[in-house]
């Protein structure tokens, strides 16, 4: 890292060098630390070289709100889809339509899933689920 870069980081600081990080589990890093009080104009990030990812250039202002999701919920949704081994043409069911579930849908779409079924009972979230790639909405629960 060097001064002046636009960076994105997780709320877990990690060295990105230990066996856990190499296996893709940076939140279980042997040196992990929580990054707290991050809603500040200036922040010291421990293990910055392992934790932060820089963008190739300064992003336009209208892209920044979307990039904010990369520090938390998008990573979780992506990890879920990756852990579920989503492949091109896969059929995926996402249970839950909160931020993580919706970004799990977006991740599955990015990974090429052919059919994405969203379990959702909220109209506004169903619209987002469809926008993010859900092909089917299931609103029922129980029997
Ligand atoms: Zn590590």
Q: How far is the CA of 121 from the centre of ligand 1 (A)?
A: 39
Q: How far is the CA of 135 from the centre of ligand 1 (A)?
A: 37
What CATH number has the domain bearing residue 129? 3.40.50.720
Structure tokens at 16: 């990105």
Q: How far is the CA of 47 from the centre of ligand 1 (A)?
A: 10
Q: Is residue 13 part of a domain?
A: yes
Which 8-state DSSP code applies to residue 41? Answer: S
Q: How confident is the model at residue 91 (pLDDT cuts 50, 70, 90)?
A: very high
Q: Is residue 53 part of a domain?
A: yes
Structure tokens at 121: 């009972």
Q: Name the least confident of 16-30, 35-49, 84-98, 115-129.
A: 35-49
60 and 87 belong to one structural domain: no
Question: Which residues span the domain enclosing 95?
Answer: 73-138
Strand bridging mode 52-54 / 33-34: unpaired
């Amino acid at each position: 890292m060097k001064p002046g870069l636009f960076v994105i980081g997780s709320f877990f600081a990690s060295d990105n060098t230990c066996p856990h990080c190499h296996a893709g589990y940076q939140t279980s890093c042997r040196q992990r630390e929580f990054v707290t009080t991050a809603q500040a104009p200036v922040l010291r990030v421990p293990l910055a070289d392992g934790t932060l990812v820089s963008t190739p250039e300064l992003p336009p202002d209208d892209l920044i709100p979307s990039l904010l999701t990369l520090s938390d919920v998008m990573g979780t949704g992506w990890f879920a889809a990756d852990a579920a081994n989503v492949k091109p043409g896969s059929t995926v069911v996402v249970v839950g339509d909160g931020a993580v579930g919706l970004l799990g849908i977006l991740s599955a779409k990015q990974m090429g899933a052919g059919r994405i079924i969203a379990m959702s009972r909220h109209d506004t979230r169903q619209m987002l689920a469809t926008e993010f790639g859900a092909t089917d909405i299931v609103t029922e629960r129980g029997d």
